[in-house]
Each structure stands twice: as structure tokens, then as C-alpha cells.
Structure 1
Amino acid sequence: MTVIALRNATKRFPGTGGQPHTAVRDLTFEVAAGEFVAVVGPTGCGKSTTLSLVSGLEPASSGEVEVDGAPVRGIPDGVGYMFQADAVMPWRSVIDNVAAGPRYRGLSKAEARTRAMVWVERVGLGPFAGYYPHQLSGGMRKRVALAQTLVNEPRILLMDEPFSALDVQTRQLMQDELLRLWQGTGAAVIFVTHDLEEAIALADRVVVMTSSPATVKAIFDVPLQRPRQVEEIRMTPEFVATYREIWESLRDEVARARQEVSRVG
């Protein structure tokens, strides 16, 4: 069942000199329930804008954006959004950070903390439930952010380069953790990343976007079985072949974006 649908969706922002700036144009793709879709493209092409359209944080200038068959007119129910920067509140402990979402949705403090503790333990932070963000490593803070997002059991999970600030080893651990926690939830995922290896390791399909103003250039199926261990599948012939195929499409867009930056500079 299609959960997210973009049909010729375009977003324009006010630009300099009175001319509008087109961030994305004519975006068309769909995401089904339980499907993990990664979006890759050159820096600044509009990948994050795509998430803003689906989340309702920004309205489309033209075209259609639908969630569950209904036009997006505000933030849809059941959407979880994980940003690149941590959204943890420094004055709250791990468990209280995770409990904040359920509290905002009307649960009592006791009920919210009970639900939060389940997710704190699922992300491996049970012994650190009473710690504060400044006492945690970068990877542990990302685990808190992941628990914050998943504790509300979202039907749609939007992720904007959530692991980009982590070191390589921690990033791979978080990728495996994400797959473990997402598997079987039925949530539809759109995952924005600059890292093509990360996209292939996580996703069922990879959407390649053009240089700015971005549109969908191509969509590739990822022929890797689940469940996956990120480090192991990177070594397989199927992974290497998929990487080469998608990079052939992405490489030209990255080159065009660099040329444009050089021209403007």
C-alpha cells in the first residue's frame, strides 16, 4: 500500500532580486508501507526540502504531496522526523528525553516513562537512563534521538542525514541498530544521505536526484536480502555491482553541481 506519494511536486522559495529560487521541481516517486527508500544527490540539490514537503513543514508550490492518499496540508499524524543535529534537551535525562513525546501526546508521566524505558533499553542505553546528554558520547546521543523518534511508533520515518556527524565505526553500528529496530515495524522510511554506500546498505530502493533544482533522475532497486549486517553486505558482489550502477547515474550530477559552484564562485 502506498503511504507517501509525490507527483510533480515543486517547491519555490523567495530569492534575491525578486526572483524565486526553485529548490526542487516535478518530484515524482512513491513509498509503500514497510519500505525503506534512500535519497541521494549532490550537496544543496534539495534532498532535505523533499522531507519538508512530506512532513508538512513546507507546502508544495505546485504538484501534489500525499500521505495515506490525502493531500498534505499540515504535519500528518504518525510522522517521526530525525534531524542531522541532535534534538535532545540538555536539561533532561535520557529517559525523560525519550518520554517527552509520549507526554506531549497525553500519557501520564508514569505511563510515558514506562514506554520510554522500553525504548531506552532497546537502543542499548538501559544503564544510562539517568544520565544527561553532556555525559554521553556522540553515538549514545544518536541512540537517544533514535529512541525519541521510535517511541511514538511512527508509521512514517523521515531521516535527514542522522548519522553524518559520527565516526565511521560508530556510524556503522548505528546503521545496524536502525535496521534492527525498524525491521518489522511496517514504517515507511525516507532516508536522506550523501553517502551512497550508506544508502545501498540500508534501503530497498535508492532515489537519485539531479543537481539543483533537483528532480528525480532515476530510481534503483537494491537486490540485497534482509535482514542485513551492514559491514558484511558491503563486501558482497551484489553490493559492489549495485554501487557501480547507481554511481554511474549519480556521478554526472555531482560533477554538474561542482561546475556550478565553481562558476558562481
Structure 2
Amino acid sequence: MDPVIELRQATKRFRSSSGGVHTAVSDLTMTVAAGEFVAVVGPTGCGKSTTLSLVSGLEPPSAGEALVGGSPVRGIPDGVGYMFQQDAIMPWRSVLDNVAAGPRYRGATKAEARAKARDWVDRVGLSGFERYYPHQLSGGMRKRVALAQTLVNEPRILLMDEPFSALDVQTRGLMQDELLRLWSGSGAAVIFVTHDLEEAIALGDRVLVMTASPATVKGSFPVPLPRPRDVEEVRLTAEFLEIYREIWDSLREEVETARERGAANVA
């Protein structure tokens, strides 16, 4: 199967505040197939979010290629949904109108957009809260709105940048299960960036370990845990612990390298 997402020796450089050049990712090569859930882990500041920017078209590569659907990325490709760490909910709009905004921007009538939004509000478990405003919602409920905002447009590619990191442990587990339930059967290719290795294994079909900055792919680890998954139950299995140990052995080296570099820079 041809990949939906492909990075070919992609490198991204930024001009630093001191006038120098910072290389965020270097010679990054990866592929994601339709319907595949790929989780990305690596040391803090290694360039994981930059990887999403290359795929989404928010940043062009300085060298190498980023392709979506076999075509070079030139601007934001059609069919890409992006869920950030901080939600993009509009505070002056109700839950229903926040979710309906995407279809409206894509040409749907107000009635069509609201009907589609109402369906997705129900799917994320917020039926009865359609008229509420963001300030009236808990953190978990806001994340449900953000998830509905993203999925209402039926993206073929779903990019997620630590979307649940600000939530408490219990709410995060609920949102992880919710994401898997809504993604299942959609055929969407997912890149999910996280600092939490347990989260990466519980959600992903594969886990990519990134090197310390500048980031490149150090290793790709399959996660042969059956689906559907209950993220809390799967964490307790012997298979999960075995996968965790294998990936952590690889990731730990990069975390230690990043820590040593940080200490050297401070000194």
C-alpha cells in the first residue's frame, strides 16, 4: 500500500534569535499508511512538533521532501485535521457552533453544518451541551469539543500534538479511549506526538523513537496489541510491559543525551 504521508530525508532549519541557524530535524524519513496510527516519542525539544509542521504544510522543509498522497506538500493539503496541545475553541461560540464552523468554512449551509455538528457533538458524548460556551465546560469537555471540531471534517490525515497532556490522569484515559473509538474504521492516517511512552504504546500501531535534537527517526517499533483496545486494561498486560521495556531502552539513551547537552549548555 502506498503511504499517505511520507517524509524523505527532510531537514528543517530555523534562524535563531542570536543570528545563527538551528536545525530542528535532520534527514528525517518516515511513512504512514492509510488507517495507520503512528505515535512519536522523543526527548523534549527534539523536533517532534516540527515533524507535524512539515506534514501539515505549516513549514516547508529546508531540504528533502514532504509528501501527502504522493504529492509534494505545497501549503496545507486538503483533508488534514490538526489537533494542538492548546485547543482552538472560539470562546464567543457555543459548543454546536464551534463544531459547525469547519463545515461552514467548507461551503455547507448553516442547516447542513449544524446537522453534521449535532451528530458529532453526540458522538463525543456532549449531547445536551450544544448551547454551552467554552467557559462553562471542564477541561475534558473542551477536549471533546476540540476532537469533534477536528473529526467533523472527516480528515484523511489526523495530526495530534500532545492533545491530552494538560488533562488529569483519569480524564486523559477517557479521552484516549474516546479517540480510539472515533478513529476506528475511519481510514485516517494518524501521527500522534506525545511525551508519554505509555500513551504512545496504548494508542499506536507503531511507535517511532526520535533522536535528541536535531531529530531523526532512531527506531520504529510495532505494537502488536489487538484492537479494539481499552487503554487502562491493556497497560496491565505482560505484552504491554514487554513492548514498553524494549522501546524505553531506545528512548532512554536519547533522553540522557538531551539532558547531558542541556547541562553542558548551562555550564
What is the TM-score normalised by the length of structure 1? 0.99
> Which secondary structure does the structure 1 equivalent of 2:4 belong to?
strand
> Which secondary structure does the structure 2 equivalent of 1:44 belong to?
coil
> Which secondary structure does the structure 2 equivalent of 1:127 belong to?
coil
Partner of 1:201: 202
> Which digits, 9 at most, give the CA deviation of each residue in 1:212-238, with x for residues without a partner?
111110000001000000000000111
The aligned amino acid for 1:247 is W
The aligned amino acid for 1:119 is W
Partner of 1:244: 245
> Which digits, 9 at most, give the CA deviation of each residue in 1:135-171, with x for residues without a partner?
0000000000000000000000000000000000000
| Residue ranges of structure 1 left out of the alignment (5+ in a row) | none
Specify whether residues 138 and 17 from structure 1 end up closer, same or farther in structure 2 by C-alpha distance, changes over 3 A only.
Answer: closer
> Which secondary structure does the structure 2 equivalent of 1:243 belong to?
helix
Partner of 1:49: 50
TM-aligned CA deviation for residue 4 of structure 1 = 0.3
> Which secondary structure does the structure 1 equivalent of 2:128 belong to?
helix
Partner of 1:77: 78
CA RMSD across the alignment: 0.6
Aligned pair count reads: 265
TM-aligned CA deviation for residue 20 of structure 1 = 1.1
Partner of 1:151: 152
The aligned amino acid for 1:84 is Q
Equivalences for residues 1-265 of structure 1 within 5 A? 1=1, 2-265=3-266
TM-aligned CA deviation for residue 18 of structure 1 = 3.3
> Which digits, 9 at most, give the CA deviation of each residue in 1:223-265, with x for residues without a partner?
1000000000000111000000000000010011111111111
Distance 1:87 1:71 in 2: 27
> Which digits, 9 at most, give the CA deviation of each residue in 1:54-98, with x for residues without a partner?
000000000011000000011000000000001100000000000
> Which secondary structure does the structure 2 equivalent of 1:29 belong to?
strand
> Which secondary structure does the structure 2 equivalent of 1:57 belong to?
coil
TM-aligned CA deviation for residue 17 of structure 1 = 4.3
Distance 1:259 1:95 in 2: 48
> Which secondary structure does the structure 2 equivalent of 1:190 belong to?
strand
Distance 1:15 1:173 in 2: 39
Distance 2:18 2:104 in 1: 45
> Which secondary structure does the structure 1 equivalent of 2:249 belong to?
helix
